[in-house]
Amino acid sequence: MSVMNKLEWRGVSKQFGAQKVLDGLDLAVAPGRSLALLGRSGQGKSVTIKLALGLMQADAGEVLLDGVDVTHLPARERRASFASIGMLFQGGALFDSLPVWENVAFRLINADGVGRREARERAVEALALVKLAPDVADRYPSELSGGMQKRAGLARAIVGSPSLLFFDEPTTGLDPITAGAINELIRDRVTSLGCTAVSITHDMVSARVIADEVAMLDGGRIVWRGSAGDLDHADHPLVRAFIRGEPLEE
């Protein structure tokens, strides 16, 4: 008997005008596993996640969350099924006009109907989990360093104890020490929440820390998949190029 996947893209295609981005993508993540999605810029990694979040519609195929196709659910049911998902957007994407705690508590207040006092307490707890002091709660995003903004974004992703987490380039633009701390935080949250995670990254160091498994997206499909430990023996030219940080051999 096979165990149901937490998340599965099945034959998913997506194009913008004449540009085909995803072309029959098949990818599945088992419960409690952490997957790193690798790929060159513009290959459709962010689109892959946005389709799973219902922020975009696929042209063909299905996205199954806990075995249920979410691409054709009515909006209200889709929102309900997304209640257990946390997301760290590329670039952090905090609201400039809201203090950090309201950013972190945004979903609690606006979707879950949690009162402001309790929401603030839970935001401060989430900030502590990503090693941000309580006084950060009342600051505005523009007053934080890039690394602290990423941590705040991470706190927002984990605040509702989600069972599925998406991270879109969580360490891009950070210095290696801050990036290392973010990677450890992600790994720690995934392990201690026991949740499933999909992380987009260009960074092989991150992939090895964050992920149990790695998948390479290219030309609209997964062209290589293996465990993080398989990376060093991978014979796929694109995977080798990523590991060595070298141009692709033609």
Ligand X SMILES: Nc1ncnc2c1ncn2[C@@H]1O[C@H](COP(=O)(O)OP(=O)(O)O)[C@@H](O)[C@H]1O
Tokens matching residue 75: 């909006």
What is the spatial distance between Cα 192 and Cα 28, in angstroms, rounded to a whole number?
A: 22
- Partner that binds at residue 44, options Mg ion, ligand X, none, CB closer than 5 to 8 Å by kind: ligand X
- Partner that binds at residue 39, options ligand X, Mg ion, none, CB closer than 5 to 8 Å by kind: ligand X
- Residues found near ligand X in the complex (CB under 6 A): 16, 21, 39, 41-47
For residue 40, the minimal CB distance to Mg ion (Å) is 10
Amino acid at 111: A
For residue 17, the minimal CB distance to ligand X (Å) is 7
Q: Which is nearer to Mg ion, 217 or 239 (CB)?
A: 217
> 5-20: buried (b, 16+ CB within 10 Å) or exposed (e) per residue?
bbbbbbebbbeeeeee
Q: Which is nearer to ligand X, 16 or 95 (CB)?
A: 16
Residues in contact with Mg ion, counted by CB under 5 A, come to a total of 1
Using CB under 5 A as the binding rule, the residues of this chain from 36 to 65 that contact Mg ion are 46
Q: What SS3 class is residue 140?
A: coil
For residue 206, the minimal CB distance to Mg ion (Å) is 14
For residue 111, the minimal CB distance to ligand X (Å) is 24
Q: Which is nearer to ligand X, 44 or 162 (CB)?
A: 44
- DSSP 8-state assignment for residue 233: G
Q: Which is nearer to Mg ion, 46 or 201 (CB)?
A: 46
- Partner that binds at residue 64, options Mg ion, ligand X, none, CB closer than 5 to 8 Å by kind: none
Longest dimension (CA), the chain: 59
What is the spatial distance between Cα 8 and Cα 27, in angstroms, rounded to a whole number?
A: 6
For residue 168, the minimal CB distance to Mg ion (Å) is 6
What is the spatial distance between Cα 58 and Cα 51, in angstroms, rounded to a whole number?
A: 6
Q: Which is nearer to ligand X, 46 or 103 (CB)?
A: 46
Amino acid at 71: T
* Rg of the chain on CA atoms, in Å: 18
Count the helix, strand and coil residues of the chain and give each as a percent rounded to the nearest 5: 40, 25, 35
Q: Is residue 132 within 8 Å of residue 147, measured between CB atoms?
A: no
Q: Which is nearer to ligand X, 37 or 85 (CB)?
A: 37
- Partner that binds at residue 43, options ligand X, Mg ion, none, CB closer than 5 to 8 Å by kind: ligand X
Closest residue by beta carbon to Mg ion? 46
For residue 37, the minimal CB distance to ligand X (Å) is 9
Reported as half-sphere exposure (CB side, CA atoms, 13 A), residue 160 has a value of 22
Binding site for Mg ion (CB under 5 A): 46
